[in-house]
Chain A
Amino acid sequence: MENEKFNKQPKLLGVHFKKIGIVVMVLSILPGLIIKTMHITLMESQKDLFKSLSYSIFLMGLLLIVLSRDKEEDELTIYIRLTAMLDMFIFAVIYVIIKPLIVLMFQSAFIDVTGQQLVTLMLVGYLISYYLKKSNR
């Protein structure tokens, strides 16, 4: 039926992807820690590439956690997911709108956030918002 298109539950990853996500996040941090503790020196270009790669892998882990389903998933949790995502979407849009104003007001780049950092903020913010709303249900 045509209406069934709108009634389908969102496709989320399995519960075990939460653990996989955590492992991926830890693995993304581990090489950086090893390099620091072992005092391995990298070239400047290698450093940038390494940092960028580690951050991307970290984000992938975070995304896996965000997109994995809970053990108990029903229409209320889907509603909470939606509101938490909406909160973060609005936050990102407002941030992008007011960012130039803040930079202009303070004449500084201290508030400058890269795309990767904004995505991290959104994903972490989503998780915090989701679990807070879920605990208050």
Chain B
Amino acid sequence: MNNTLKVERAKLNLTQQQLADKVGVSRQSINSIEAERYIPSTSLAIRISDVFNTSVNEIFTLEEDD
């Protein structure tokens, strides 16, 4: 699964820690999601998309083999 989290975060000038605090997870979780080492749960993906005021699909996209 690909994501544009880093880009979206940069647009709002948010640090990983600030985003983590907003969605209620650790900074390491945000880092792992950005590095595509971890796929977030549906509820976390929705909370993240809410922060950026966009849909989940705009941030997270499936790869061909997903």
Contacts and interface: CB of A to CB of B under 8 A. Distances in A.
A74 B24 contact: yes
B28 A75 contact: no
A128 B32 CA distance: 20
Contacts of A79: 38
B25 A74 contact: yes
Contact of A75 (B31, B37, B44): B44
Contacts of B28: 72, 76, 134, 137
A110 B40 CA distance: 46
The interface size bin for chain A is: under 10
A75 B25 contact: yes
B32 A75 contact: no
Interface residues of B, number: 13
A75 B41 CA distance: 8
Interface of A: 7, 72, 74-77, 79, 134, 137
B24 to A, nearest CB: 7
A77 B44 CA distance: 14
Contacts of A7: 43
A87 B42 CA distance: 25
10 closest Cβ pairs, A-B complex: A74-B25, A76-B29, A72-B26, A137-B32, A137-B28, A74-B26, A74-B29, A75-B41, A76-B38, A76-B32
